A = this chain, B = another copy of it.
Amino acid sequence: MTINIILFNSSLELTKNLGSKKLQHPVFVNDSKRRKNRKAGELLLDISIHYSGMSPDDRTNRGRPDIIHQIMLQYHFSLFNSEAFRKNTSFNPLRLFIHTNQDLVFEVSPEWRVPVSYIRFRGLMEKLLLEGSIEQPPVKVRNLSIEQLLKDKIKPESIILWTEIGEKKFSNELENEKDYLSTDKETVWLIGGYQSGDTPKRIESLVDKKLQIANFSLPSWKVLGNLLAYLEQDL
């Protein structure tokens, strides 16, 4: 019945994960003051703001909440989530799960009016990570590995990984995937939520097919945006 999109290993976390010693760096102290004295450990880690306080290792794949923001906007504004489409259908053809590099998972419901402003998004994510939930719409953060999310929650028939090293021809495959929009079977699309680097072997071992949009690296939101556009072409 559904294409389940999972953004995996995304870097959405609070600054406290860096450890209290690093938080003494002026970049966190100053940002904390600028943010109306929000505690230095309770800021959303963002490499574009906190670069100088992050170690070279941290900088490779941490602090990119903008990726999650863009993915949530792509999902929110999909034609499948429009009022016009939803009033004529009884089911939800697309679901979106955000999985983080700390094995936290939350679902983005079609009702969630994702803030278009990054500054508002940041405040909302800080609240979600600090409190573990949002009331309106109900969003709850759970501790789940990708394996648990797949096996215990979604139980898909098929798992596709979208990656630059995947097979080139996706048009036929996408036609097959459209069947999931009208049957009661579940398919999963895995998209990496991190800045760069290979897909972890652990994830690769879970998938049935690897497909590409292009044979070079693209932002996660560009991959999802094009895939949604292709699905929407028939609407």
A interface residues (Cβ-Cβ under 8 A, vs B): 34, 46, 48-49, 66, 70, 73-74, 77, 79, 82-84, 115-120, 171, 214-216, 218-219, 222, 225-226, 229-230, 232-233, 235
Contact = CB atoms under 8 A, between A and B. Distances in A.
Contacts of A118: 66, 117-119
Contacts of A233: 171, 230
Say whether chain A's binding surface is mostly helix, strand, loop, or mixed. Answer: helix
Contacts of A79: 214, 218
Copies of this chain in its oligomeric complex? 2
Nearest to A235: B214
Nearest to A65: B117
B232 A117 contact: no
A94 B125 CA distance: 36
Given A226-B232, A229-B230, A232-B226, A48 B119 contact: yes
Give the most central of A74, A83, A120, A214: most B CB within 10 Å.
A214
Contact of A48 (B49, B115, B218): B115
